[in-house]
Amino acid sequence: MKAAVIVFSDPKSGSEESLGRLFNALAAAYDFKQRGEDVQILFQGAGTRWAGELMNTQHPAYELFAAVKDKVAGVSCGCADVFGAQAGVAASGFDLITENSVPNTTGLPSLARLTAEGYAILTF
């Protein structure tokens, strides 16, 4: 089994719902990882802001994030541009993904490629 966990929730909202979505995304990735399954985490949309937020060791989701950090495939470049997350992404060291060259953007992850490669797409 293969899964791509995509985080769309926005940390800037400061809501419990946003943190809950992030936590459940990371928990799903953790579950797949513990079972030895192929799992990738991608940050897309306003979720690109999490790349910088999760570098804070005091963040309540930091320990869970640290357990799955090696499964982060990257961050949507075009979304990081739109949502002002470039500095946080640079600080995180994660790759910017540009493979889906959507017009007037710097590119996004390709969900079509992931699906073609047999990944189940899980969105949070």
Q: Delineate the domains of the chain, giving CATH numbers in brackets.
A: 2-123 (3.40.1260)
Confidence of residue 30 (pLDDT cuts 50, 70, 90): very high
Which whole-number Å values give the CA distances from 38 to 10, 12, 14, 23, 107, in the listed order? 25, 30, 31, 19, 24
Q: How many CB atoms lie within 10 A of CB 58?
A: 5
DSSP 75-124: EEHHHHHHTT-HHHHHHHTPPEE--B--TTSS-B--HHHHHHTTEEEEE-
pLDDT tens per residue, range 79-122: 999 999 999 999 999 999 999 999 999 999 999 999 999 999 99
Whether residue 29 is predicted with pLDDT greater than 90 in this model: the reply is yes
Q: Give tens-digit pLDDT for 57-70.
A: 999 999 999 999 99
- Is residue 44 within 8 A of residue 108, CB to CB? The reply is yes
- Number of other CB atoms surrounding residue 2 within 10 Å: 13
Q: Global pTM?
A: 0.96
pLDDT at 68: 98
**What per-residue confidence (pLDDT) applies to 3?**
98
Collapsed DSSP state (helix, strand, coil) of residue 28: helix
Average pLDDT, the chain: 97
14 pLDDT tier (thresholds 50, 70, 90): confident
Task: At 29, list the tokens.
Answer: 């990735």
Residue % of the chain over a pLDDT of 90: 98
